[in-house]
Amino acid sequence: MNSLTEARVSEVRAFNRFYTKVIGVLQAGMHHLPYSLTEGRVLFEVAHADSIGTGELRALLDLDAGYLSRILARFDGDGLIVRERSAADARKHVVRLSPAGRKAFETLDQASNEDIERLLAGLPEDARERLVTGMRAIRDVLDPPAGPESCLIRPLRDGDLSWVVHRHGVLYAREYGWGRDFELLVARIVAAFDPSRDTAWIAEVGGRPAGSVFYMRKDDTTGQLRLLLVEPSARGLGLGRRLVDECVRHARADGCERLVLWTRDCLTSARRVYEAAGFRLDSQEKGMENGIELNEEMWSLDLAATS
Protein backbone atom coordinates (compact mmCIF):
# COMPACT_ATOMS: atom_id res chain seq x y z
CA MET A 1 0.00 0.00 0.00
CA ASN A 2 1.54 3.34 -1.03
CA SER A 3 1.64 6.37 1.24
CA LEU A 4 -1.22 8.16 -0.52
CA THR A 5 -3.47 5.11 -0.22
CA GLU A 6 -2.50 4.68 3.43
CA ALA A 7 -3.36 8.31 4.14
CA ARG A 8 -6.75 7.94 2.46
CA VAL A 9 -7.54 4.70 4.29
CA SER A 10 -6.58 6.35 7.57
CA GLU A 11 -8.81 9.34 6.84
CA VAL A 12 -11.83 7.16 5.98
CA ARG A 13 -11.34 5.09 9.14
CA ALA A 14 -11.02 8.26 11.23
CA PHE A 15 -14.26 9.57 9.75
CA ASN A 16 -16.01 6.27 10.45
CA ARG A 17 -14.93 6.35 14.10
CA PHE A 18 -15.96 9.97 14.45
CA TYR A 19 -19.36 9.58 12.82
CA THR A 20 -20.13 6.40 14.75
CA LYS A 21 -19.58 8.50 17.88
CA VAL A 22 -21.94 11.19 16.54
CA ILE A 23 -24.59 8.58 15.78
CA GLY A 24 -24.13 7.18 19.28
CA VAL A 25 -24.77 10.61 20.77
CA LEU A 26 -27.92 11.00 18.67
CA GLN A 27 -29.08 7.54 19.65
CA ALA A 28 -28.47 8.36 23.31
CA GLY A 29 -31.03 11.14 22.96
CA MET A 30 -33.64 8.45 22.22
CA HIS A 31 -32.98 6.28 25.30
CA HIS A 32 -36.44 6.97 26.67
CA LEU A 33 -37.75 4.97 23.69
CA PRO A 34 -37.58 1.17 23.81
CA TYR A 35 -36.03 0.52 20.37
CA SER A 36 -32.46 0.49 19.11
CA LEU A 37 -31.17 2.31 16.05
CA THR A 38 -31.33 -0.90 13.98
CA GLU A 39 -34.88 -1.62 15.16
CA GLY A 40 -35.81 1.94 14.25
CA ARG A 41 -34.42 1.39 10.76
CA VAL A 42 -36.52 -1.77 10.36
CA LEU A 43 -39.60 0.20 11.41
CA PHE A 44 -38.67 2.92 8.91
CA GLU A 45 -38.43 0.54 5.96
CA VAL A 46 -41.66 -1.29 6.84
CA ALA A 47 -43.43 2.04 7.34
CA HIS A 48 -42.41 3.23 3.87
CA ALA A 49 -43.76 0.10 2.19
CA ASP A 50 -47.40 -0.89 2.09
CA SER A 51 -46.13 -4.38 2.85
CA ILE A 52 -42.71 -5.90 2.37
CA GLY A 53 -41.41 -9.46 2.16
CA THR A 54 -39.10 -10.55 4.94
CA GLY A 55 -36.49 -11.65 2.39
CA GLU A 56 -36.66 -8.29 0.64
CA LEU A 57 -36.38 -6.51 3.99
CA ARG A 58 -33.34 -8.57 4.95
CA ALA A 59 -31.60 -7.80 1.63
CA LEU A 60 -32.49 -4.11 1.84
CA LEU A 61 -30.95 -3.75 5.29
CA ASP A 62 -28.18 -6.32 4.81
CA LEU A 63 -29.11 -7.96 8.12
CA ASP A 64 -28.42 -11.47 9.33
CA ALA A 65 -31.58 -13.57 8.88
CA GLY A 66 -31.60 -14.68 12.53
CA TYR A 67 -31.12 -11.12 13.79
CA LEU A 68 -33.97 -9.80 11.65
CA SER A 69 -36.17 -12.69 12.75
CA ARG A 70 -35.61 -11.77 16.40
CA ILE A 71 -36.43 -8.11 15.72
CA LEU A 72 -39.64 -9.05 13.91
CA ALA A 73 -40.57 -11.47 16.70
CA ARG A 74 -40.21 -8.64 19.20
CA PHE A 75 -42.28 -6.31 17.04
CA ASP A 76 -44.90 -9.02 16.69
CA GLY A 77 -45.01 -9.52 20.45
CA ASP A 78 -45.39 -5.76 20.96
CA GLY A 79 -48.20 -5.62 18.44
CA LEU A 80 -46.30 -3.37 16.03
CA ILE A 81 -46.53 -5.52 12.90
CA VAL A 82 -48.90 -7.84 11.11
CA ARG A 83 -47.35 -10.89 9.46
CA GLU A 84 -49.14 -12.73 6.69
CA ARG A 85 -48.43 -15.00 3.75
CA SER A 86 -47.69 -13.34 0.42
CA ALA A 87 -50.63 -13.33 -1.97
CA ALA A 88 -48.16 -13.85 -4.83
CA ASP A 89 -46.23 -16.70 -3.22
CA ALA A 90 -47.71 -18.58 -0.24
CA ARG A 91 -44.23 -19.84 0.69
CA LYS A 92 -43.17 -16.31 1.60
CA HIS A 93 -44.23 -13.95 4.37
CA VAL A 94 -44.80 -10.21 4.23
CA VAL A 95 -45.02 -7.72 7.07
CA ARG A 96 -46.79 -4.41 7.50
CA LEU A 97 -47.23 -2.03 10.38
CA SER A 98 -50.24 -2.26 12.66
CA PRO A 99 -51.86 0.99 13.93
CA ALA A 100 -49.71 0.66 17.06
CA GLY A 101 -46.64 0.15 14.86
CA ARG A 102 -47.46 3.24 12.83
CA LYS A 103 -47.70 5.27 16.05
CA ALA A 104 -44.36 3.88 17.31
CA PHE A 105 -42.69 4.73 14.00
CA GLU A 106 -44.04 8.28 14.03
CA THR A 107 -42.69 8.75 17.56
CA LEU A 108 -39.24 7.48 16.54
CA ASP A 109 -39.26 9.51 13.34
CA GLN A 110 -40.14 12.71 15.19
CA ALA A 111 -37.42 12.04 17.78
CA SER A 112 -34.85 11.53 15.01
CA ASN A 113 -35.86 14.79 13.31
CA GLU A 114 -35.58 16.68 16.59
CA ASP A 115 -32.11 15.22 17.27
CA ILE A 116 -30.85 16.34 13.84
CA GLU A 117 -32.45 19.75 14.27
CA ARG A 118 -30.59 20.18 17.57
CA LEU A 119 -27.34 19.13 15.91
CA LEU A 120 -27.78 21.67 13.09
CA ALA A 121 -28.98 24.41 15.45
CA GLY A 122 -25.58 24.37 17.15
CA LEU A 123 -23.79 25.25 13.90
CA PRO A 124 -23.51 28.57 12.02
CA GLU A 125 -25.30 28.71 8.68
CA ASP A 126 -22.18 28.28 6.53
CA ALA A 127 -21.16 25.21 8.56
CA ARG A 128 -24.62 23.69 8.11
CA GLU A 129 -24.33 24.11 4.37
CA ARG A 130 -20.83 22.58 4.33
CA LEU A 131 -22.03 19.64 6.43
CA VAL A 132 -25.05 18.88 4.24
CA THR A 133 -23.04 19.35 1.03
CA GLY A 134 -20.33 17.01 2.31
CA MET A 135 -22.87 14.35 3.28
CA ARG A 136 -24.51 14.61 -0.13
CA ALA A 137 -21.10 14.26 -1.79
CA ILE A 138 -20.39 11.05 0.15
CA ARG A 139 -23.70 9.58 -1.01
CA ASP A 140 -23.08 10.65 -4.60
CA VAL A 141 -19.64 9.01 -4.66
CA LEU A 142 -20.55 5.75 -2.90
CA ASP A 143 -24.05 5.36 -4.36
CA PRO A 144 -24.25 7.52 -7.50
CA PRO A 145 -27.68 8.02 -9.02
CA ALA A 146 -27.53 6.31 -12.41
CA GLY A 147 -31.07 6.27 -13.71
CA PRO A 148 -32.06 8.58 -16.57
CA GLU A 149 -34.84 9.95 -14.36
CA SER A 150 -32.15 11.59 -12.20
CA CYS A 151 -30.59 13.49 -15.16
CA LEU A 152 -31.65 17.01 -16.10
CA ILE A 153 -30.46 19.60 -18.64
CA ARG A 154 -31.28 23.11 -17.44
CA PRO A 155 -30.37 26.76 -18.20
CA LEU A 156 -27.70 28.62 -16.24
CA ARG A 157 -28.30 29.72 -12.66
CA ASP A 158 -26.36 32.06 -10.39
CA GLY A 159 -23.04 30.48 -9.45
CA ASP A 160 -22.85 28.17 -12.46
CA LEU A 161 -20.24 30.20 -14.35
CA SER A 162 -17.70 29.91 -11.55
CA TRP A 163 -18.47 26.18 -11.27
CA VAL A 164 -17.70 25.74 -14.99
CA VAL A 165 -14.30 27.42 -14.66
CA HIS A 166 -13.44 25.52 -11.50
CA ARG A 167 -14.37 22.08 -12.81
CA HIS A 168 -12.59 22.60 -16.13
CA GLY A 169 -9.45 23.60 -14.26
CA VAL A 170 -9.60 20.65 -11.87
CA LEU A 171 -10.58 17.90 -14.31
CA TYR A 172 -8.32 18.81 -17.23
CA ALA A 173 -5.34 19.18 -14.89
CA ARG A 174 -6.07 15.82 -13.33
CA GLU A 175 -6.89 13.89 -16.50
CA TYR A 176 -4.56 15.49 -19.08
CA GLY A 177 -1.95 17.43 -17.14
CA TRP A 178 -3.06 20.81 -18.46
CA GLY A 179 -2.11 23.63 -16.16
CA ARG A 180 -3.25 27.00 -14.94
CA ASP A 181 -2.99 28.60 -18.37
CA PHE A 182 -5.83 26.36 -19.56
CA GLU A 183 -7.96 27.35 -16.58
CA LEU A 184 -7.28 31.00 -17.39
CA LEU A 185 -8.35 30.34 -20.99
CA VAL A 186 -11.64 28.88 -19.75
CA ALA A 187 -12.08 31.89 -17.48
CA ARG A 188 -11.62 34.24 -20.45
CA ILE A 189 -14.20 32.30 -22.48
CA VAL A 190 -16.67 32.50 -19.61
CA ALA A 191 -15.93 36.21 -19.13
CA ALA A 192 -16.84 36.79 -22.80
CA PHE A 193 -20.24 35.12 -22.30
CA ASP A 194 -22.98 37.62 -23.22
CA PRO A 195 -26.46 36.57 -22.06
CA SER A 196 -28.02 38.86 -24.67
CA ARG A 197 -26.73 36.67 -27.51
CA ASP A 198 -25.22 33.55 -25.90
CA THR A 199 -26.76 30.60 -24.05
CA ALA A 200 -25.46 27.84 -21.82
CA TRP A 201 -26.82 24.73 -20.16
CA ILE A 202 -25.90 22.73 -17.08
CA ALA A 203 -26.45 18.99 -16.78
CA GLU A 204 -27.56 17.78 -13.36
CA VAL A 205 -27.51 14.27 -11.91
CA GLY A 206 -29.35 13.77 -8.67
CA GLY A 207 -29.75 17.53 -8.32
CA ARG A 208 -26.00 18.26 -8.58
CA PRO A 209 -24.11 19.91 -11.49
CA ALA A 210 -22.53 17.22 -13.66
CA GLY A 211 -21.79 18.87 -17.00
CA SER A 212 -21.95 21.97 -19.17
CA VAL A 213 -22.05 23.27 -22.71
CA PHE A 214 -22.07 26.84 -24.09
CA TYR A 215 -23.48 28.30 -27.31
CA MET A 216 -21.74 31.53 -28.27
CA ARG A 217 -22.60 33.57 -31.36
CA LYS A 218 -19.59 34.27 -33.63
CA ASP A 219 -21.25 36.29 -36.42
CA ASP A 220 -24.56 36.63 -38.27
CA THR A 221 -24.48 33.10 -39.64
CA THR A 222 -22.17 31.15 -37.33
CA GLY A 223 -22.37 29.93 -33.75
CA GLN A 224 -19.74 28.17 -31.66
CA LEU A 225 -20.16 25.25 -29.28
CA ARG A 226 -17.84 25.71 -26.29
CA LEU A 227 -16.94 24.28 -22.89
CA LEU A 228 -18.50 20.84 -23.19
CA LEU A 229 -17.81 19.00 -19.94
CA VAL A 230 -19.16 15.89 -18.23
CA GLU A 231 -18.08 14.93 -14.72
CA PRO A 232 -16.36 11.51 -14.44
CA SER A 233 -19.09 10.29 -12.08
CA ALA A 234 -21.77 11.07 -14.71
CA ARG A 235 -20.09 9.61 -17.79
CA GLY A 236 -21.90 6.80 -19.53
CA LEU A 237 -25.33 8.39 -18.99
CA GLY A 238 -25.49 10.05 -22.42
CA LEU A 239 -25.17 13.57 -21.01
CA GLY A 240 -22.53 14.65 -23.51
CA ARG A 241 -24.79 13.81 -26.43
CA ARG A 242 -27.79 15.49 -24.77
CA LEU A 243 -25.81 18.68 -24.13
CA VAL A 244 -24.52 18.81 -27.71
CA ASP A 245 -28.00 18.12 -29.10
CA GLU A 246 -29.39 20.98 -27.00
CA CYS A 247 -26.75 23.33 -28.38
CA VAL A 248 -27.41 22.23 -31.98
CA ARG A 249 -31.17 22.72 -31.59
CA HIS A 250 -30.65 26.19 -30.17
CA ALA A 251 -28.20 27.18 -32.92
CA ARG A 252 -30.69 26.15 -35.56
CA ALA A 253 -33.51 28.04 -33.82
CA ASP A 254 -31.20 31.07 -33.54
CA GLY A 255 -30.90 31.17 -37.32
CA CYS A 256 -27.33 29.91 -37.60
CA GLU A 257 -26.26 28.29 -40.85
CA ARG A 258 -23.13 26.78 -39.32
CA LEU A 259 -21.99 25.64 -35.88
CA VAL A 260 -18.27 25.30 -35.19
CA LEU A 261 -16.17 24.03 -32.29
CA TRP A 262 -12.57 23.79 -31.20
CA THR A 263 -11.26 20.65 -29.53
CA ARG A 264 -8.13 18.54 -29.16
CA ASP A 265 -7.39 15.09 -30.51
CA CYS A 266 -6.84 13.56 -27.05
CA LEU A 267 -10.48 14.29 -26.08
CA THR A 268 -11.65 11.07 -27.72
CA SER A 269 -15.00 10.75 -25.94
CA ALA A 270 -16.00 14.31 -26.87
CA ARG A 271 -14.88 13.77 -30.46
CA ARG A 272 -17.13 10.70 -30.72
CA VAL A 273 -20.07 12.75 -29.47
CA TYR A 274 -19.35 15.51 -32.02
CA GLU A 275 -19.08 13.02 -34.86
CA ALA A 276 -22.33 11.30 -33.85
CA ALA A 277 -24.06 14.71 -33.88
CA GLY A 278 -22.93 15.30 -37.47
CA PHE A 279 -19.86 17.48 -36.95
CA ARG A 280 -16.93 16.96 -39.32
CA LEU A 281 -13.24 17.69 -38.83
CA ASP A 282 -12.19 20.74 -40.89
CA SER A 283 -8.60 21.38 -39.88
CA GLN A 284 -5.85 20.26 -37.55
CA GLU A 285 -2.59 21.79 -36.35
CA LYS A 286 0.10 21.10 -33.76
CA GLY A 287 -0.31 22.74 -30.39
CA MET A 288 1.08 22.78 -26.86
CA GLU A 289 -0.53 22.89 -23.40
CA ASN A 290 1.57 23.04 -20.25
CA GLY A 291 4.53 21.52 -22.12
CA ILE A 292 2.40 18.71 -23.58
CA GLU A 293 2.24 18.37 -27.38
CA LEU A 294 -1.22 17.85 -28.86
CA ASN A 295 -3.27 18.47 -31.99
CA GLU A 296 -5.71 21.39 -32.11
CA GLU A 297 -8.82 20.64 -34.18
CA MET A 298 -11.62 22.71 -35.69
CA TRP A 299 -14.91 20.95 -36.43
CA SER A 300 -18.10 22.24 -38.04
CA LEU A 301 -21.70 21.28 -38.62
CA ASP A 302 -23.64 22.56 -41.64
CA LEU A 303 -27.03 23.28 -40.06
CA ALA A 304 -28.73 23.90 -43.39
CA ALA A 305 -27.72 20.45 -44.60
CA THR A 306 -28.91 18.71 -41.41
CA SER A 307 -32.18 20.57 -40.88
Confidence at 113, pLDDT banded by 50, 70, 90: confident
What is the model's pLDDT at position 188? 98
Specify the pTM.
0.61
Lowest mean pLDDT among 7-11, 224-228, 251-255: 7-11
pLDDT band at 153 (very low <50, low <70, confident <90, very high): very high
Domains of the chain by residue range: 3-142, 148-306
CB 32 within 8 A of CB 115: no
210 has a pLDDT exceeding 70: yes
Would you say domain 3-142 falls under CATH 1.10.10.10? yes
> What local confidence, expressed as pLDDT, does residue 87 receive?
75
Tallying the residues shown for the chain, one arrives at 307
For residue 147, what pLDDT is reported? 59
> 84-107: b or e for each residue (b if 16 or more CB lie within 10 Å)?
eeeeeeeeeebbbbbeebeebbee
Could you read off the pLDDT of 46-88 as tens digits, one per residue?
A: 988 878 888 888 888 888 889 989 999 999 999 999 988 877 7
Average model confidence (pLDDT) for the chain?
A: 88
CATH match for 148-306 among 3.30.360.10, 3.60.15.10, 2.40.30.330, 3.40.630.30: 3.40.630.30
pLDDT-wise least confident of 8-22, 168-182, 259-273: 8-22
* Residue 290: half-sphere exposure toward Cβ, Cα within 13 Å: 14
Residues 6+ apart with CB under 8 A from 189: 214, 216, 226, 227
150 vs 4 pLDDT, higher one: 4
**Does position 119 have pLDDT exceeding 60, yes or no?**
yes
